[in-house]
Amino acid sequence: MSIKDLLHVMVVDDTATSRGLMLQALDSMGIRNIQHAADGHEALAKLAGKPVHLVLSDYFMPGMDGLQLLQSLRGDARTRGVGFVLVTGRAEPDLIERGKTLGMNNFIRKPFTTPELKACLEAVVGRF
């Protein structure tokens, strides 16, 4: 069994279209264990009941942005070790540095291709 068969992923994005594109890309890679949430608060609630190995989160979201979600994950012993990839159209150096300081594992710029997303995820979890 390969890592993609075992990998559990949470996609967090307030825009249904962006969330759908990420879900579609993951599905095309053969990743089937996927949850999704429309915002950080919903993601935290779902993760409390069903943990994952990796979170892909948009940066700009109402109520709780992607880095605030990351900070919440790293502050909870149950989710501290979850891999985190920030998905953003604004990959400015200060934002990326803040993410790294908080424990972000990787980031990807929007728009992205499926091969780019696959390479980004493999840099975090290993080849699949």
CATH code, 114: 3.40.50.2300
Contact by Cβ (8 Å): 41, 63: yes
Average pLDDT for residues 37-57, to the nearest whole number?
A: 96
Summarize pLDDT for 65-85 with one digit per residue, the tens: 999 999 999 999 999 999 999
What residue has token string 């594109």? 21
C-alpha distances (whole Å) from 68 to each of 1, 3, 26, 59, 94 are 34, 28, 24, 9, 15
What per-residue confidence (pLDDT) applies to 39? 97
What per-residue confidence (pLDDT) applies to 107? 98
Average pLDDT for residues 14-30, to the nearest whole number?
A: 97
Total number of domains constituting the chain: 1
Residue ranges making up the domain that contains 48 = 3-125
Contact by Cβ (8 Å): 59, 34: no
Contact by Cβ (8 Å): 82, 53: yes
- For residues 36-59, one letter each, b for 16 or more C-beta atoms within 10 angstroms of the residue's C-beta and e for the rest, the string is bbbbbbbbbebbeeeebbbbbbbb
Sorted by sequence, the CB contacts under 8 Å of residue 49 that are 6+ apart come out as none
